């Protein structure tokens, strides 16, 4: 298997997969259970409740795909896409460091600070790392990225 990454890279990929899955799993739990601060966050974005539910479903699918060996690259692509939306929301509407007073919603107080943005960046970096390690498995472009010419 010429296109299979070396064992240390596979271990690194699994560490990144678990990191991304744990963060996504934790955040999707709050979205699906309708935590007040999560509802407030999506209110600020003008996407409550459907945006919250859609994001949670996509995160759940990404978590499952990340933890199944045959679907890791699909999970990494989906998580990178979903989390890119979260990062854009932070950069355009929420701020890197959430300020409940500036956003006009005291329900956001438990989310104050940069921790959500930091977690989003960690998921993005983890997802991109997984894709780099497993680039030969990426549909359509994988063989070219792996140097196989495809």
DSSP string, 93-114: IITTTB-HHHHT-GGGGGG-BS
Residue 112: what pLDDT? 96
Residue 148: what pLDDT? 54
Instruction: Please choose, from the candidates 102, 98, 106, the residue with its C-alpha nearest in 3D space to the C-alpha of residue 40.
Output: 106
Tell me the sheet residues that pair with 113: 98
Query: Per the structure block, which two tokens stand in for 86?
Result: 């979260």
Q: Give the angle 43-19-25 at the CA atoms, nearest 5°.
A: 40
The C-alpha atoms of residue 99 and residue 105 are separated, in whole angstroms, by 9
The C-alpha atoms of residue 86 and residue 66 are separated, in whole angstroms, by 18
In the chain (150 residues long), the average pLDDT of successive 10-residue segments reads 80 98 96 95 96 97 97 98 98 96 94 97 98 93 69
Query: Per the structure block, which two tokens stand in for 3?
Result: 């296109």
pTM metric for this prediction: 0.92
Residue 121: what pLDDT? 98
Domain boundaries, the chain: 7-137
- DSSP symbol at 137: G
């Amino acid at each position: 298997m010429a296109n299979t990454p070396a064992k240390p890279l596979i271990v690194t990929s699994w560490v990144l997969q678990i990191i991304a899955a744990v963060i996504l799993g934790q955040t999707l739990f709050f979205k699906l259970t309708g935590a007040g601060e999560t509802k407030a966050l999506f209110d600020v974005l003008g996407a409550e409740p459907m945006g919250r539910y859609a994001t949670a479903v996509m995160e759940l699918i990404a978590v499952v795909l990340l933890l199944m060996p045959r679907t890791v690259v699909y999970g990494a692509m989906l998580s990178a896409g979903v989390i890119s939306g979260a990062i854009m929301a932070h950069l355009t509407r929420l701020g890197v460091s959430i300020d409940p007073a500036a956003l006009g919603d005291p329900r956001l107080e438990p989310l104050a600070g940069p921790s959500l943005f930091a977690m989003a960046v960690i998921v993005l970096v983890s997802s991109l790392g997984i894709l780099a390690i497993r680039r030969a498995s990426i549909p359509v472009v994988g063989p070219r990225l792996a140097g196989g010419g495809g």
